[in-house]
Amino acid sequence: MEALKVKENIYWVGVKDWNLTEFHGYHVSHGSTYNSYLIKDEKIALIDGVKQYLSQENIERIKSVTDFSKIDYIIVNHVELDHSGNIPELVKLAPQAVVVTNSAGKMALEAHFDTTGWNFQIVKTGESISLGKRNITFVTTPLLHWPDSMMSYCPQEKILFSNDGFGQHYCANTIWASETNFGIVCEEAKSYYANILFPYGMQAQKALNTANELNLEIEMIAPSHGCIWNGKEEVNWILSNYAKWASGETDGSAVVVYDTMWGATAKLAETITAVFQDAGVPVVKRCLTNAHTSEVMCDILEAKYVVIGTPTLNNELFPRVAAFVTYLKGLAPKNKKGFAFASYGWRGGVVNKIQTIMEELGWQTIAPFEEKYTPKPEVLEKLKEHTKQILG
Ligand code: FEO
């Protein structure tokens, strides 16, 4: 397991998780990577660890370019276990290394591990450590997406080591976005934002503002998941899209998401979809029997309209719809318009559970729509007129 060169004396020493399909509820289509970087200067710094079960691969790559006894700093940008799982093992191999993190990072490391004997250096935004010819400047990005989240910037190389920010769950045979299917990398970056960072748009905007205030010149963004964004065009693509996603700007599209038991809710979904289509609104219709919640969240990221439907099962939401709206509520998309729809047999009302969530999220809504058993043509006509209200 050899290290891969990023720039002269800067190496990727991360690991590839080719078979990953699930990341705490987020369905992952192309595996993932946990990127760890090593900078060799007069002093040697390691940036971020990896998941515990892939530690050996990380260790072998580090050993291919340095002895552990020569590592001066272990920088912990984020304590979620996909980046810190093997930090105790790394500290054990390099007990002389100073563990550099922010105060929330230290608290989180202490809460996860036995840190007795660790030599901590606590940093704040704008503070730096010197490696010799190169410095590392720290930018804390609290709640993007954990309290301890931080990015590390090397001004001499113009590289931002951005941890989760700008990352993608994407595993390829290269570390460079330009050397693989760039369209998939971009789509995975969008999916990552939708499924991990969606609730933290304000924090993302703040991080982008801080980068501007500190005049960070960025020629390369090296995240801790997926591929490295290299060069002006790629860096601008990801920065401008983060600015757009963080602002809640929509592209005017619609998402109709539902599940169905005996086809009644599907008929309602089809009718609503046709109204959007006929009005020239780009629309996707997703049935949760086939579409995974995390794919639908990616559709919702830039959508203007979100309409959600459920069958009634034992006087409750259909379980896959219940799971979906729970996930949606946590990711808290803002600036949407929508309504809920439902079919039922002998007792209605579950539709209000979805409608309430939409209202709690601050969405602009019209009244919910529900129908008993199979909707007749006249009911579908009524639903068409109902749906048109949201376009007004
Ligand atoms: Fe990639 Fe928040 O961990």
- Ligand 1 centre and the CA of 215: distance in Å? 26
Measured from the Cα of 225, ligand 1's closest atom is 1
Residue 223 confidence class, pLDDT cut points 50, 70, 90: very high
Partners of 135 in beta bridges: 130
With cut-offs at 50, 70 and 90, classify the pLDDT of residue 317. very high
Residues framing ligand 1 (Cβ under 6 A): 78, 80, 82-83, 145-146, 164, 224-225
How far apart are alpha carbons 214 and 192 in whole angstroms?
Answer: 26
Task: State if pTM tops 0.75.
Answer: yes
- Of ligand 1's listed atoms, the one at least distance from the Cα of 34 is 1
> If you average pLDDT over residues 23-51, what whole number do you get?
97
Instruction: Specify the residue with its C-alpha closest to ligand 1, atom 2.
Output: 80
148 is catalytic: no
Q: What is residue 155's DSSP assignment?
A: T
> Distance between CA 28 and CA 191 in Å, rounded?
9
Residues of the chain with CATH 3.40.50.360: 254-391
Decide if 145 is catalytic. Answer: yes
What is the CA angle 277-279-284, rounded to 5?
Answer: 30
pLDDT of 320: 98
| Mean pLDDT (whole number) for 158-173 | 97
The CATH 3.60.15.10 portion of the chain extends over 4-247
Among 30, 83, 169, 225, the active-site one is 225
Query: In the chain, what's the furthest Cα-to-Cα distance?
Result: 78
* Rounded average pLDDT over 267-283: 98
> Which pLDDT does position 392 carry in this prediction?
79
- Mean predicted confidence (pLDDT) in 109-118: 98
Residue 315, pLDDT above cutoff 90: yes
Are residues 111 and 147 in contact, defined by beta-carbon separation less than 8 angstroms? no
pLDDT at 263: 97
Q: How far, CA to CA in Å, does 185 sit from each of 25, 117, 237, 244, 383?
A: 20, 41, 11, 17, 39
Task: Say if residue 274's pLDDT is above 90.
Answer: yes
* Catalytic residue (choose from 192, 242, 258, 305): 192
Asked whether residue 138 carries a pLDDT value surpassing 90, the answer given is yes
Q: How far is the CA of 304 from the centre of ligand 1 (A)?
A: 28
Q: How far is residue 31's CA from residue 68's CA, in Å, rounded to a whole number?
A: 29
Which atom in ligand 1 lies closest to the alpha carbon of residue 149? Answer: 2
pLDDT at 276 over 90: yes
pLDDT class of 79 with cuts at 50, 70, 90: very high
Output the residue whose Cα is nearest ligand 1's atom 1: 164
Residue type at 366? I
What does each C-alpha distance from 265 to 180, 234, 301 come to in angstroms?
A: 40, 42, 24
Give backbone dihedrals phi and psi of 112, rounded to 5 degrees, phi first: -90, -35
How far does residue 94's CA lie from ligand 1's centre (Å)? Answer: 23
Distance of CA 88 to the CA centre of its chain: 26
pLDDT above 90: residue 211: no
Percent of the chain clearing pLDDT 70 (strictly above)? 100
Which tokens hold the place of 359?
């209202």
Q: How far apart (Å, rounded) are the C-alpha atoms in residues 96 and 280?
A: 63
Annotated catalytic residue 157? no
Nearest CA to ligand 1 atom 3: 80
Please state, rounded to an integer, the average pLDDT across all residues of the chain. 97
Question: Residue 163: its pLDDT value, please?
Answer: 97
Q: Could you tell me which CATH class the domain 4-247 is placed in? A: alpha beta
CATH code 3.40.50.360 for 254-391:
yes
- 26: pLDDT strictly greater than 90: yes
30 catalytic? Reply is: no
